[in-house]
Structure 1
């Protein structure tokens, strides 16, 4: 079911009734597959659909002067352009990391569904508020942490978000990111990222090989990152 991860995501952050789950499962959609590095949308595009990320990863991206800046990562179950329902012109790019699949849902259908369901309206509104909370945390990390804490925090966040949609097992996640992706998200050079990942390996905190990242000592990694997942607003 293309919307299974979205339903799991909304269930984890606020809960859904059986009727709401059925409504989400019946959303009409067009499936689109994206290659690694393919743009789903570009800054300046005017959207008529919202995307549900079914598999893989997307990132929000902007070019700042001559530097690539990743503004956020998106995992299956996310709707990374939900804001276009009311602000249709894109002010950033959305790019696939590795191969990914998205389900396109027409704005007109989403608007009608939300008009008919105040509870789903609240659920989607809550998603935009959580998205903003994640943004605030990213800003705080960029400005207030050293390199090892920044990267540790990114790993902890991705692990927590992927657990919600059943894509993490035994603290292991499939992650097709390159060191450049990490550098562009954390405001670091690739050389600095490489050295920091080596340090995390040296401390026996992570193993990252062949697209799989394993967290070996999660408690210590969270301590280094000062990771407190409250900003993700996941139900316990």
Structure 2
């Protein structure tokens, strides 16, 4: 059910009343399964609905100077095209990374819910602001860090966001990314990505086998990445000290 991860995501970053949770649980939707590389939205589309990621990953991407550039990954619970409620033309492609499942919620239903609930209006607005904050962090990551820091930062962010929706188990989760996906997200070549992953493995900081990523020493990865989770704006940022799974929460 698409509302479960969406509620978990919005609860983590915005807070929800019981009545608003019920509204989300009752929202209409249409489920679609996507194969690896299949598009959910194409640049220039005029969507009449917003997507909720149920399973898997989506990537926001554009081709720039003949190179594919990924500018964000979207995880279960995320609504990657929420801005289309007010910006009707999609400005990027949304593509499935590995297989994924999405739900399309009509714009009309979302507008109706927000008209009934100032709380939902607030939390959806907050979610669009958080997407902007993540985007700015990615720009700074690409512009200011070397390869090791870029990759480490990406892994810290993905782990933290997976924790928000209960999909990271003791610092370990399934990550469908290929080395090409990482290269497109970090502005690196595949060869450079491979060397950087091997460096992190050699330091004993991560394990990454068969699409399962495990942070062995999350605190050290955080230092390499210069990672601070404040830009993700979780409402309960004090769940524990830095640990293998906690990343500072």
C-alpha distance after superposition, 1:64-117 (max 9, x if no partner): 010000010000000000011111211110000111111111111111111111
Q: 1:15 offset after TM fit, Å?
A: 1.0
**Contiguous gaps of at least 5 residues in structure 2:** 237-249
Using the TM superposition, name which of 57-66 and 109-118 deviates more.
109-118
**3-state DSSP class of the match of 1:63?**
strand
**3-state DSSP class of the match of 1:169?**
coil
Alpha-carbon distance between aligned partners in 1 of 2:110 and 2:121, rounded to the nearest angstrom = 10
What are the equivalent positions in structure 2 for 1:170-209 lying under 5 Å apart? 170-209=170-209
Alpha-carbon distance between aligned partners in 2 of 1:126 and 1:164, rounded to the nearest angstrom = 16
Partner of 1:7: 7
Partner of 2:22: 22
**3-state DSSP class of the match of 2:2?**
coil
C-alpha distance after superposition, 1:187-216 (max 9, x if no partner): 011110000000000000111110101110
C-alpha distance after superposition, 1:121-160 (max 9, x if no partner): 0000000000000011001100000100000000000000
Alpha-carbon distance between aligned partners in 1 of 2:51 and 2:126, rounded to the nearest angstrom = 17
Aligned residue pair count: 236
Alpha-carbon distance between aligned partners in 1 of 2:191 and 2:149, rounded to the nearest angstrom = 16
TM-score of the pair, normalised by structure 1: 0.99
Partner of 1:164: 164
Alpha-carbon distance between aligned partners in 2 of 1:109 and 1:5, rounded to the nearest angstrom = 18
Partner of 2:39: 39
Instruction: Extract structure 1 runs of 4+ deviating beyond 2 A.
Output: none
Alpha-carbon distance between aligned partners in 2 of 1:186 and 1:122, rounded to the nearest angstrom = 32
What RMSD over aligned residues (CA atoms) do the two structures have, in Å?
Answer: 0.6
**Contiguous gaps of at least 5 residues in structure 1:** none
Alpha-carbon distance between aligned partners in 2 of 1:39 and 1:31, rounded to the nearest angstrom = 14
Partner of 1:106: 106
Partner of 1:138: 138
Partner of 2:65: 65
**3-state DSSP class of the match of 2:192?**
helix
